Amino acid sequence: MSFKSFGITCFSYAYIAFVGIHSAIMFIIACFIRLLTHFFDKRLILLNLFTSFWASTYIWCMPIWSVKITGRRKMDMKKNYVIVANHQSQLDVLVVYRLFFPFRWISKAEVFNLPFIGWNMTLNGHVKLKRGDKESIAQMMDQCKKFLKNNISIMMFPEGTRSKTGIVKPFKNGAFMLAKKMKKPILPLVINNTKDALPKYSLTLRGRHKMDIRVLDEIPFSVFEYMEVDDTAKMVQKMISSHVKEHIALEQGKYIGRLAN
Protein backbone atom coordinates (compact mmCIF):
# COMPACT_ATOMS: atom_id res chain seq x y z
CA MET A 1 0.00 0.00 0.00
CA SER A 2 1.37 3.42 -0.98
CA PHE A 3 1.64 6.27 1.51
CA LYS A 4 -1.18 8.09 -0.31
CA SER A 5 -3.47 5.05 -0.14
CA PHE A 6 -2.66 4.58 3.53
CA GLY A 7 -3.51 8.24 4.21
CA ILE A 8 -6.84 7.96 2.38
CA THR A 9 -7.74 4.79 4.31
CA CYS A 10 -6.89 6.42 7.67
CA PHE A 11 -8.90 9.51 6.75
CA SER A 12 -11.87 7.33 5.76
CA TYR A 13 -11.85 5.46 9.07
CA ALA A 14 -11.45 8.71 11.02
CA TYR A 15 -14.50 10.11 9.24
CA ILE A 16 -16.53 6.98 10.02
CA ALA A 17 -15.53 7.31 13.70
CA PHE A 18 -16.64 10.95 13.65
CA VAL A 19 -20.00 9.95 12.17
CA GLY A 20 -20.48 7.40 14.97
CA ILE A 21 -19.77 9.85 17.80
CA HIS A 22 -21.64 12.74 16.19
CA SER A 23 -24.72 10.61 15.46
CA ALA A 24 -25.00 9.64 19.14
CA ILE A 25 -25.14 13.31 20.15
CA MET A 26 -27.57 14.25 17.38
CA PHE A 27 -29.87 11.35 18.26
CA ILE A 28 -30.21 12.62 21.83
CA ILE A 29 -31.17 16.06 20.45
CA ALA A 30 -33.65 14.41 18.06
CA CYS A 31 -35.31 12.62 20.99
CA PHE A 32 -35.76 15.94 22.80
CA ILE A 33 -37.27 17.53 19.68
CA ARG A 34 -39.66 14.61 19.29
CA LEU A 35 -40.82 14.96 22.90
CA LEU A 36 -41.16 18.76 22.74
CA THR A 37 -43.15 18.74 19.48
CA HIS A 38 -45.29 15.67 20.17
CA PHE A 39 -48.56 17.55 20.72
CA PHE A 40 -48.39 20.21 17.99
CA ASP A 41 -46.32 18.72 15.12
CA LYS A 42 -48.12 15.53 14.11
CA ARG A 43 -46.44 15.55 10.68
CA LEU A 44 -43.00 15.70 12.38
CA ILE A 45 -41.95 18.62 10.18
CA LEU A 46 -39.49 20.06 12.72
CA LEU A 47 -37.96 16.66 13.43
CA ASN A 48 -37.63 15.95 9.70
CA LEU A 49 -35.92 19.31 9.14
CA PHE A 50 -33.57 18.69 12.07
CA THR A 51 -32.67 15.34 10.50
CA SER A 52 -31.95 17.21 7.26
CA PHE A 53 -29.55 19.42 9.21
CA TRP A 54 -28.01 16.38 10.91
CA ALA A 55 -27.41 14.64 7.58
CA SER A 56 -26.13 17.83 5.94
CA THR A 57 -23.39 18.24 8.56
CA TYR A 58 -21.70 15.10 7.17
CA ILE A 59 -21.28 16.85 3.82
CA TRP A 60 -20.50 20.30 5.23
CA CYS A 61 -17.66 18.97 7.37
CA MET A 62 -16.12 16.96 4.51
CA PRO A 63 -13.79 19.30 2.58
CA ILE A 64 -13.62 17.02 -0.46
CA TRP A 65 -17.42 17.05 -0.96
CA SER A 66 -19.83 19.74 -2.06
CA VAL A 67 -23.38 19.67 -3.37
CA LYS A 68 -24.84 21.82 -6.10
CA ILE A 69 -28.62 22.20 -5.73
CA THR A 70 -30.79 23.24 -8.68
CA GLY A 71 -34.53 23.83 -8.66
CA ARG A 72 -35.13 23.75 -4.89
CA ARG A 73 -37.76 26.48 -5.22
CA LYS A 74 -39.94 24.08 -7.18
CA MET A 75 -40.67 22.20 -3.94
CA ASP A 76 -43.75 23.56 -2.22
CA MET A 77 -43.94 22.92 1.54
CA LYS A 78 -47.74 23.24 1.34
CA LYS A 79 -47.94 20.30 -1.05
CA ASN A 80 -47.05 16.66 -0.73
CA TYR A 81 -45.58 14.48 -3.45
CA VAL A 82 -44.42 11.05 -4.39
CA ILE A 83 -40.73 11.93 -4.74
CA VAL A 84 -38.54 9.69 -6.90
CA ALA A 85 -34.83 9.79 -7.75
CA ASN A 86 -32.13 7.75 -9.42
CA HIS A 87 -29.83 5.87 -7.03
CA GLN A 88 -26.02 5.79 -7.37
CA SER A 89 -24.50 5.66 -3.90
CA GLN A 90 -25.01 5.53 -0.15
CA LEU A 91 -24.41 9.29 -0.31
CA ASP A 92 -27.69 9.83 -2.17
CA VAL A 93 -29.52 9.91 1.15
CA LEU A 94 -27.33 12.76 2.44
CA VAL A 95 -27.64 14.64 -0.83
CA VAL A 96 -31.46 14.43 -0.83
CA TYR A 97 -31.51 15.69 2.76
CA ARG A 98 -29.68 18.82 1.56
CA LEU A 99 -33.01 19.91 0.05
CA PHE A 100 -34.39 20.49 3.58
CA PHE A 101 -37.83 19.19 2.63
CA PRO A 102 -39.89 16.94 4.95
CA PHE A 103 -40.76 13.43 3.70
CA ARG A 104 -40.72 9.76 4.63
CA TRP A 105 -38.19 7.35 3.15
CA ILE A 106 -38.83 3.80 2.08
CA SER A 107 -35.78 1.87 3.30
CA LYS A 108 -34.55 -1.66 3.91
CA ALA A 109 -35.64 -2.99 7.30
CA GLU A 110 -32.02 -3.79 8.28
CA VAL A 111 -31.06 -0.10 8.15
CA PHE A 112 -33.43 0.66 11.05
CA ASN A 113 -31.28 -1.52 13.32
CA LEU A 114 -28.23 0.74 12.93
CA PRO A 115 -27.40 2.51 16.21
CA PHE A 116 -28.54 6.15 16.36
CA ILE A 117 -29.02 6.72 12.61
CA GLY A 118 -31.36 3.74 12.21
CA TRP A 119 -33.08 4.55 15.48
CA ASN A 120 -33.61 8.11 14.26
CA MET A 121 -35.27 6.73 11.14
CA THR A 122 -37.79 5.00 13.39
CA LEU A 123 -38.20 8.21 15.39
CA ASN A 124 -38.94 10.11 12.15
CA GLY A 125 -41.51 7.56 11.05
CA HIS A 126 -39.73 6.31 7.95
CA VAL A 127 -41.08 3.14 6.36
CA LYS A 128 -39.47 -0.30 6.69
CA LEU A 129 -39.41 -2.71 3.79
CA LYS A 130 -38.27 -6.33 3.71
CA ARG A 131 -37.30 -7.08 0.13
CA GLY A 132 -39.19 -9.98 -1.41
CA ASP A 133 -41.59 -10.20 1.54
CA LYS A 134 -45.14 -9.79 0.18
CA GLU A 135 -46.61 -8.99 3.60
CA SER A 136 -43.96 -6.31 4.21
CA ILE A 137 -44.60 -4.80 0.77
CA ALA A 138 -48.35 -4.65 1.46
CA GLN A 139 -47.74 -3.00 4.85
CA MET A 140 -45.35 -0.52 3.25
CA MET A 141 -47.93 0.45 0.62
CA ASP A 142 -50.65 0.88 3.25
CA GLN A 143 -48.39 3.06 5.40
CA CYS A 144 -47.42 5.20 2.40
CA LYS A 145 -51.08 5.70 1.50
CA LYS A 146 -51.78 6.93 5.04
CA PHE A 147 -48.88 9.39 4.87
CA LEU A 148 -49.96 10.77 1.50
CA LYS A 149 -53.53 11.09 2.75
CA ASN A 150 -52.20 13.14 5.70
CA ASN A 151 -50.23 15.53 3.48
CA ILE A 152 -46.85 13.86 4.05
CA SER A 153 -44.57 13.29 1.07
CA ILE A 154 -43.05 9.89 0.29
CA MET A 155 -39.51 9.45 -1.07
CA MET A 156 -38.47 6.37 -3.09
CA PHE A 157 -35.61 5.13 -5.24
CA PRO A 158 -37.65 3.24 -7.88
CA GLU A 159 -34.60 1.35 -9.19
CA GLY A 160 -34.69 -0.60 -5.93
CA THR A 161 -30.91 -0.72 -5.59
CA ARG A 162 -27.89 1.43 -6.37
CA SER A 163 -26.56 1.56 -9.91
CA LYS A 164 -22.93 0.51 -10.09
CA THR A 165 -22.32 2.24 -13.42
CA GLY A 166 -24.52 5.31 -12.99
CA ILE A 167 -26.78 4.14 -15.81
CA VAL A 168 -30.35 4.36 -14.50
CA LYS A 169 -32.00 0.96 -14.18
CA PRO A 170 -35.66 0.32 -15.09
CA PHE A 171 -38.02 1.74 -12.49
CA LYS A 172 -40.23 -0.54 -10.42
CA ASN A 173 -43.93 0.36 -10.34
CA GLY A 174 -44.52 0.85 -6.59
CA ALA A 175 -44.06 4.62 -6.40
CA PHE A 176 -46.18 5.20 -9.49
CA MET A 177 -48.97 2.93 -8.27
CA LEU A 178 -49.07 5.05 -5.10
CA ALA A 179 -49.17 8.33 -7.00
CA LYS A 180 -52.02 7.12 -9.21
CA LYS A 181 -54.00 5.53 -6.37
CA MET A 182 -53.71 8.60 -4.14
CA LYS A 183 -53.95 11.12 -7.03
CA LYS A 184 -50.72 12.82 -5.99
CA PRO A 185 -48.15 14.63 -8.16
CA ILE A 186 -44.81 12.96 -8.85
CA LEU A 187 -41.68 15.00 -8.13
CA PRO A 188 -38.57 13.70 -9.97
CA LEU A 189 -35.07 14.33 -8.61
CA VAL A 190 -31.83 13.83 -10.52
CA ILE A 191 -28.64 12.87 -8.65
CA ASN A 192 -25.20 13.07 -10.26
CA ASN A 193 -21.61 12.30 -9.17
CA THR A 194 -22.35 10.50 -5.89
CA LYS A 195 -21.19 7.25 -7.49
CA ASP A 196 -17.73 8.74 -7.99
CA ALA A 197 -17.54 10.16 -4.47
CA LEU A 198 -18.47 6.87 -2.78
CA PRO A 199 -18.83 3.85 -5.10
CA LYS A 200 -21.19 0.97 -4.39
CA TYR A 201 -19.88 -1.50 -1.76
CA SER A 202 -17.15 0.94 -0.70
CA LEU A 203 -16.50 3.02 2.42
CA THR A 204 -13.32 4.57 1.05
CA LEU A 205 -13.52 8.30 0.37
CA ARG A 206 -12.20 9.32 -3.02
CA GLY A 207 -10.82 12.68 -4.17
CA ARG A 208 -12.68 15.97 -4.46
CA HIS A 209 -16.19 15.66 -5.84
CA LYS A 210 -18.95 18.13 -6.59
CA MET A 211 -22.18 16.21 -6.27
CA ASP A 212 -25.33 17.48 -7.87
CA ILE A 213 -29.06 17.27 -7.19
CA ARG A 214 -31.63 18.75 -9.52
CA VAL A 215 -35.35 19.13 -8.80
CA LEU A 216 -37.33 18.70 -12.02
CA ASP A 217 -40.82 20.06 -12.59
CA GLU A 218 -43.54 18.19 -10.73
CA ILE A 219 -45.72 15.89 -12.83
CA PRO A 220 -49.37 16.63 -11.98
CA PHE A 221 -51.77 13.73 -11.52
CA SER A 222 -53.67 14.86 -14.63
CA VAL A 223 -50.65 13.99 -16.80
CA PHE A 224 -50.63 10.28 -15.88
CA GLU A 225 -54.24 9.83 -14.72
CA TYR A 226 -55.15 7.69 -17.72
CA MET A 227 -51.74 6.13 -18.33
CA GLU A 228 -50.81 2.57 -17.40
CA VAL A 229 -48.60 2.47 -14.30
CA ASP A 230 -45.81 0.79 -16.26
CA ASP A 231 -45.89 3.57 -18.87
CA THR A 232 -45.75 6.21 -16.13
CA ALA A 233 -42.67 4.51 -14.64
CA LYS A 234 -40.99 4.45 -18.06
CA MET A 235 -41.86 8.10 -18.69
CA VAL A 236 -40.35 9.27 -15.39
CA GLN A 237 -37.29 7.02 -15.80
CA LYS A 238 -36.66 8.56 -19.22
CA MET A 239 -37.17 12.06 -17.84
CA ILE A 240 -34.62 11.54 -15.03
CA SER A 241 -32.17 9.65 -17.25
CA SER A 242 -32.00 12.56 -19.69
CA HIS A 243 -30.25 14.61 -16.96
CA VAL A 244 -27.92 11.88 -15.65
CA LYS A 245 -24.37 12.42 -16.91
CA GLU A 246 -23.74 8.76 -17.77
CA HIS A 247 -26.83 8.72 -20.00
CA ILE A 248 -25.89 12.02 -21.60
CA ALA A 249 -22.42 10.62 -22.38
CA LEU A 250 -24.02 7.44 -23.76
CA GLU A 251 -26.34 9.38 -26.07
CA GLN A 252 -23.50 11.64 -27.23
CA GLY A 253 -21.45 8.53 -27.99
CA LYS A 254 -24.30 7.10 -30.05
CA TYR A 255 -24.67 10.38 -31.92
CA ILE A 256 -20.96 10.55 -32.69
CA GLY A 257 -21.10 6.90 -33.76
CA ARG A 258 -23.92 7.66 -36.20
CA LEU A 259 -21.96 10.59 -37.64
CA ALA A 260 -18.89 8.37 -38.06
CA ASN A 261 -20.94 5.83 -40.00
**pLDDT tens track for 196-241:** 887 666 656 666 789 999 999 999 999 999 999 999 999 999 999 9
Residue range(s) defining the domain that contains residue 136? 3-260
Alpha-carbon distance of 92 to 212, in angstroms, equals 10
Residue 140 bridge partners (DSSP): none
pLDDT of residue 178: 96
Global confidence as pTM: 0.90
- Residue 32 maps to which CATH number? 3.40.1130
Supply angle C-alpha 170, 176, 158, rounded to 5. Answer: 40
Q: What are the Cα distances from residue 246, in Å, to 61, 138, 173?
A: 28, 34, 23
pLDDT of residue 203: 59
Question: Bigger pLDDT: 234 or 17?
Answer: 234
pLDDT at 52 over 90: yes
Answer whether 134's CB lies under 8 Å from 111's CB: no
Domains of the chain: total: 1
**What average pLDDT does the chain have?**
89
The percent of residues above 70 in pLDDT, for the chain, comes to: 89
Answer whether 180's CB lies under 8 Å from 145's CB: no
3 state SS for the chain: CCHHHHHHHHHHHHHHHHHHHHHHHHHHHHHHHHHHCCCCCCCCHHHHHHHHHHHHHHHHCCCCEEEEEECHHHCCCCCCCEEEECCCCCCHHHHHHCCCCCCEEEEEHHHHHCCCHHHHHHHCCCEEECCCCHHHHHHHHHHHHHHHHCCCCEEECCCCCCCCCCCCCCCCCHHHHHHHHHCCCEEEEEEECHHHHCCCCCCCCCCCEEEEEEECCCECHHHHCCCCHHHHHHHHHHHHHCCCHHHHHHHHHHHHHHHHC
What is the separation of C-alpha 85 from the centre of its chain, rounded to a whole number of angstroms?
Answer: 6
Question: Bigger pLDDT: 136 or 47?
Answer: 47
pLDDT of residue 247: 87
Q: Kindly report, residue by residue over 97-123, the tens digit of the pLDDT.
A: 999 999 999 998 899 999 999 999 999
pLDDT at 7 over 70: no
The percent of residues above 90 in pLDDT, for the chain, comes to: 69
pLDDT of residue 207: 64
